[in-house]
Amino acid sequence: MIKAAVLGSPIAHSLSPLLHRAAYEELGIEHNYQAIEVSSAGLSDFISNLDASWTGFSLTMPLKEEAVVLADEVDELAQRIYSANTLYRSGGKWKATSTDMVGFSNALAMHSIEISGHVVILGAGATARAAAASCDGLASHITVVNRSTKRIEAMSAAIQHSQFSFVDWSGSSIIEDADLVISTTPVGATDGIELPLKTVAPFFEALYKPWPTVASSEWAKRGGFVIDGLDLLIHQGIAQMEIFSGVSFDKSDMYTLLRNVGINALK
């Protein structure tokens, strides 16, 4: 039996319970998947009070960095981006990894979008570092646009092969030069951002609620292709489902099922 939950704060809006339950029902796996509110700095106490029945946890903000510190084992990717969105029990130990990177990569590949040229990432948090790692070595140049330059060191660790620039919000006009734009900012952060008059590059918005965001809607109006955050949630979730269940399954069929479930829930 899978006993798992998504942890974070706020967490009531999360579609993860709906998606995980639908997947495990499709696979015929007994399960109990919940949403549990865990505030910043609360992950260690939460984990220490668990019994041995728990399989693992999906993590959202603000817990992705805390997981890297408390896990017994942290894989190379999670260490590199200093972010783990997945905690799972194996051999009596808590192991940490990130499925966000594969989530970005698989979502882009599904839409036949090749990562190349100049990628612009809006935001510099844990999700942004995963996005950067997914583009590293494929993009010739990655520019990160953030409100401050405080996170430049952590972002530098995530980008090891592509040329890298870090600019504050006043430099957001760099979007005009992008071959791909990825937004990882909180709700409302990009509402007033300066966009090109005509958009050609794809725009990947990590948010899925509310949808559409102001920026994604405006991007589409100006001619650009938009990928929504539901795709990211589904693709990173599918990777988690494989970890929690230990079962291999057809990812394309599962994506179709979960996309329909998610769209219906967001109506």
Residue-wise pLDDT tens digits, 136-177: 999 999 999 998 878 889 899 999 999 999 999 888 899 999
SS3 label, residue 34: strand
Does residue 170 share a domain with residue 238? Answer: no
Given CA atoms 180, 59, 236, 81 in this order, what sign does their dihedral have? positive
- pLDDT band for position 113 (cuts 50, 70, 90): very high
CATH, residue 14: 3.40.50.10860
CA-closest candidate to residue 218, choices 204, 197, 238? 197
| Inside any domain, residue 246 | yes
Predicted confidence at residue 198, as pLDDT, reads 87
10 in Cβ contact with 187 (< 8 Å)? no
Q: In the numeric block, which tokens belong to residue 135?
A: 């583009």
Predicted confidence at residue 201, as pLDDT, reads 95
The residue range of the domain holding 162 is 114-224
Does residue 208 share a domain with residue 141? Answer: yes
| Inside any domain, residue 135 | yes
pLDDT over 90 at 59, yes or no: yes
Report d(CA 260, CA 148) in Å as an integer: 38
119 in Cβ contact with 178 (< 8 Å)? yes
Does residue 243 share a domain with residue 191? Answer: no
Does residue 149 share a domain with residue 237? Answer: no
Q: Cα 36 vs. chain centroid, distance in angstroms?
A: 19
| Inside any domain, residue 251 | yes
5 in Cβ contact with 220 (< 8 Å)? no
Report d(CA 199, CA 224) in Å as an integer: 5
Does residue 122 share a domain with residue 76? Answer: no
Does residue 130 share a domain with residue 194? Answer: yes
Our count of domains for the chain comes to: 2
| Inside any domain, residue 107 | no
| Inside any domain, residue 104 | no
Does residue 90 share a domain with residue 122? Answer: no
Does residue 219 share a domain with residue 121? Answer: yes
pLDDT over 90 at 102, yes or no: yes
Does residue 72 share a domain with residue 164? Answer: no
| Inside any domain, residue 140 | yes
Does residue 142 share a domain with residue 45? Answer: no
Q: In the numeric block, which tokens belong to residue 134?
A: 């997914």
pLDDT over 90 at 184, yes or no: yes
- pLDDT band for position 84 (cuts 50, 70, 90): very high
Q: In the numeric block, which tokens belong to residue 89?
A: 């029990």
Predicted confidence at residue 208, as pLDDT, reads 94
Does residue 235 share a domain with residue 220? Answer: no
Report d(CA 131, CA 142) in Å as an integer: 10
What digits encode the pLDDT tens for the residues 187-238? 999 998 888 888 899 999 999 998 999 999 999 999 999 999 999 999 999 9
Phi-psi region of 82 (alpha: psi -120 to 50; beta: other; left: phi over 0): left
Average pLDDT over every residue of 59-83: 96
Average pLDDT over every residue of 12-27: 97
| Inside any domain, residue 103 | no
- pLDDT band for position 250 (cuts 50, 70, 90): very high
103 in Cβ contact with 110 (< 8 Å)? no
Distances (CA, A) of 240 to 24, 110, 123, 217: 12, 18, 24, 30
Residue linked to tokens 């969105």 = 85
pLDDT over 90 at 23, yes or no: yes
CATH, residue 160: 3.40.50.720
Does residue 82 share a domain with residue 134? Answer: no
Predicted confidence at residue 148, as pLDDT, reads 81
CA-closest candidate to residue 222, choices 193, 187, 186, 263? 193
Average pLDDT over every residue of 117-136: 97
Report d(CA 94, CA 50) in Å as an integer: 12
Predicted confidence at residue 172, as pLDDT, reads 86
| Inside any domain, residue 105 | no
